[in-house]
Structure formats: structure tokens, C-alpha cells
């Protein structure tokens, strides 16, 4: 991202923050590492293992322990943000809010059995019904392991 665009983005964020209360984990997201979610999903290999910041609307939160949340990024796709249980506890009230998460991008290639176990676990965490027979192939899982998160609580 060009320096001028980053400066404009930082100004926009600062003006938003001045009218919002903020929930922070790990000292808050590092806005100097902000990357567009669409770029990360389009060129995942370029960002795997890198410390980046993603932004998006929180659309899901782990109902059981608050150990993950899902961000809808700028192209409408979703990226999971996952911490070890207890490291951070994302509140259910974050759903619908804008969030920024800084961390390391991870990618996992799951075979069909691991895909079934992963999806069954996610369904269980959310109290949802899971039908393993509908899973017909493995999946690639892209997620951010954050060390800092900022959630904007607009007034």
C-alpha cells in the first residue's frame, strides 16, 4: 500500500476512533501492518508466516469460549481469527462491529477426515447441527493467529 494511502487510512481510522469506544487485546492492533483482506485471500502464500493486520466486520464469535471470531473482509469473504483458549476472550457483543487483528497468517491443508473433524468441532462450539455426509472434499483453512486485536464499539 502506498504511503499516501496508508496515511489517509490512518487518518480515517483515527477519526473513527475519536467517536468510538475501543476494546483492545494485546495492546491493540498495529495499524502500520494493515493489509487488504482481498489481497491476503488472493495471494495467501505471499502472507503465510507474516505478521499482518486485517480488518473486517465481526460476523461470528465462538459461543463457548470466545476463542475465535470470523471477520468479513473488504471483498465479502471471511477470515478466521483464532487464539489459544483463554489467551483472549472475544465478546459476543463484537458481532456487527469493526475489528482489526494483528498476528501471523496460517494456512492448513485439511484432508476430508480432518475437514469433517474441524467442521464438527466448529458446529459443536456454536451449538449447531453438523452433517458429516455433506462434506465431500478436504479444505484449505486460512486463519490469523493474533497477538493484538482492536474492536471498535461505535457510540
User: Could you read off the pLDDT of 102-144 as tens digits, one per residue?
Assistant: 999 999 999 999 999 999 988 887 788 999 999 999 999 899 9
Provide the whole-model pTM: 0.77
Is residue 53 within 8 A of residue 34, CB to CB? The reply is: yes
Which three-class secondary structure state does DSSP give residue 6? Answer: helix
Residue 91, φ and ψ in degrees, nearest 5: -75, 145
Domain made up of 3-109+140-154: CATH architecture: Beta Barrel (2.40)
pLDDT of residue 155: 45
| Nearest one of 80, 90, 73 to 110, comparing CA atoms | 80
Q: Where are the domains of the chain?
A: 3-109+140-154
Rounded CA-CA distance 109/41 in Å is 14
Q: pLDDT for 10-54, tens place per residue?
A: 555 555 444 568 999 999 999 999 999 999 999 999 999 999 999
Could you give the count of Cα atoms lying within 13 Å of 15 in the half-sphere of its Cβ? 6
| Nearest one of 10, 46, 2, 44 to 29, comparing CA atoms | 10
The helix or strand, by DSSP H or E, that contains position 144, with its residue range, turns out to be strand 139-154
Amino acid at each position: 500500500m502506498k504511503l499516501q494511502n496508508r496515511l489517509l487510512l490512518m487518518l480515517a481510522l483515527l477519526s473513527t476512533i475519536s467517536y468510538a469506544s475501543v476494546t483492545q487485546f494485546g495492546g491493540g492492533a498495529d495499524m502500520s501492518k494493515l493489509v487488504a483482506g482481498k489481497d491476503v485471500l488472493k495471494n495467501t502464500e505471499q502472507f503465510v508466516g507474516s505478521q499482518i493486520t486485517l480488518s473486517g466486520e465481526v460476523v461470528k464469535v465462538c459461543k463457548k469460549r470466545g476463542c475465535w471470531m470470523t471477520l468479513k473482509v473488504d471483498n465479502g469473504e471471511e477470515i478466521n481469527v483464532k487464539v489459544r483458549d483463554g489467551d483472549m476472550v472475544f465478546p459476543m457483543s463484537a458481532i456487527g462491529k469493526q475489528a482489526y487483528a494483528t498476528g501471523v497468517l496460517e494456512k492448513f491443508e485439511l484432508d476430508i477426515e480432518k475437514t469433517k473433524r474441524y467442521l464438527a468441532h466448529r458446529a459443536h462450539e456454536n451449538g449447531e447441527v453438523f452433517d458429516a455426509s455433506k462434506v465431500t472434499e478436504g479444505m484449505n483453512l486460512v486463519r490469523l493467529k493474533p497477538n493484538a486485536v482492536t474492536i471498535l464499539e461505535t457510540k
